[in-house]
Structure 1
Amino acid sequence: MLFHYHLWTPHVEETEKFYANLGFQVTQRIGKKDGEFESFDPPLDWDDFRGQSIRFRIIEMKRGATNISFGYGKKVIFDHIGFLVSEEEKVNVLERAEQIGLTTQSNERRTFIHTPYGFRIELQQHFDAVQSRSENRVLQFSIDSKRKGIEEVLRRLFGRQVSEINVSESNHTMIIGVKLMSDANFRTVDPNGIQIILSNT
């Protein structure tokens, strides 16, 4: 199940506020202060640490079956997308990744597959990464890519056509749109230029 995306952005506070207004809840904030990483998790909010020099490594937000994360970067960069998988699915995907010749990297929490398309694919087995496995799911991602072939690589990795990801050619690699399940129906654009579509269909 497609559930997640991660960005680097200079618009950290603005991005958090944007998604909070869409019903996402902050579950984690980790930032570097005075050379050391510290947690600034809720109930702390931005007014509690605004005057401090903090470079946020990750802010994680959840809404139903959707998880987004972002950290500070000098410019907006799309880092990875994530799929929730079972142990069997993970083993199968990693076997196919090896057959294709893609590099993988694992730790106890998650696994990354490095692609030649300018972003990584996360395999996540821990279902506490989301609040729900059915509500407010990611329905579709739209991605711009400098290289052809993403759809075929995804099909080979997951053993099916990954129809929830649409790819178009561009001179850069970036998520350009995300369609989310919602009771509401409207479109908006996040601080990083990503079109967010909330839809009940």
Structure 2
Amino acid sequence: MLFHYHFWTPHVEETERFYVDHGFQVFQRIGKYQGDFQNFNPPLVWDDFREKNILFRIIEARKGTINITFGYGKKIIFDHIGFLISEKEQDLICENAAEMNWSVDRGERRTFINTPYSFRIELQTNKDIVDSMTDNIKIEELRIETKKKGLEDDLSALFGKTVNTIKSVTGDKVTIREAVITDFSSKQVVDPNGVRFVN
């Protein structure tokens, strides 16, 4: 199940505000302050720390089966998408990735696959990463702009089945163009990183 994406962005506070305004709850904020990584989690709000020079490594916002993360970057960079899967599925996907010569970085909490499309794929087996597995609020589809063709076919080979939640268009950058999310908004809106939402 597609559940996640991550951006690096200079618009950290604005990105958080956008998602909170659309019903997401901030789960955690981790940032570097005075040389150390520290938590600035809720119930803290931006007025509590805005004046401090914090470099946010990760801010995590959740809604239903969706988990969106972002951290500070000098420019907007789309980093990865994430799939929530079983451990058995993970083993098969990692084997397929090796056959495709895509490098795999297996970690204790999550696994990353490096794609030739200039973004990574996270494989997550821990269901505690989302608020609800039964909630109907989910990412129906992401439309990803890539610089080369073939993403859908490669994802089918990687997962061993058709991945209907990812559609691609070829362009001059790598980013998420559109996100189709259930029960998101009655009108089209665009987040601070250029992701357009359609209901």
**TM-score, length-normalised on structure 2?**
0.97
Gap regions ≥5 residues in structure 1: none
Partner-residue secondary structure (3-state), 2:70: strand
CA shift at 1:185, angstroms? Answer: 3.0
CA shift at 1:183, angstroms? Answer: 7.1
Gap regions ≥5 residues in structure 2: none
Alignment of 1:19-38 (within 5 A): 19-38=19-38
CA shift at 1:134, angstroms? Answer: 3.6
Partner amino acid for 2:9?
T
| Runs of 4+, deviation exceeding 2 Å | 183-186
What's the counterpart of residue 15 of structure 1?
15
CA shift at 1:80, angstroms? Answer: 0.2
CA shift at 1:118, angstroms? Answer: 0.6
- Of 183-192 and 51-60, deviating more is 183-192
CA shift at 1:184, angstroms? Answer: 5.0
Partner amino acid for 1:158?
F
Partner-residue secondary structure (3-state), 1:191: coil
Say how many residue pairs are matched: 198
Partner-residue secondary structure (3-state), 1:151: helix
What's the counterpart of residue 181 of structure 1?
182
What's the counterpart of residue 71 of structure 2?
71
Report the Cα distance in structure 2 between the residues aligned to 1:97 and 1:194, rounded to whole angstroms. 28
Alignment of 1:37-186 (within 5 A): 37-135=37-135, 136-182=137-183, 184-186=185-187
Q: Deviations over 1:142-189 (max 9, x none)?
A: 000001111111000111111211100001110011111117532101
Partner amino acid for 1:105?
D
Partner amino acid for 1:192?
N
Q: Cα RMSD between the aligned structures? A: 1.0
Partner amino acid for 2:181?
L
Partner-residue secondary structure (3-state), 1:79: strand
Partner amino acid for 1:38?
Q
Residues 22 and 184, structure 2, Cα contact 8 Å, conserved in 1? no
Partner amino acid for 1:76?
I
Report the Cα distance in structure 2 between the residues aligned to 1:196 and 1:33, rounded to whole angstroms. 33
Partner-residue secondary structure (3-state), 2:128: helix
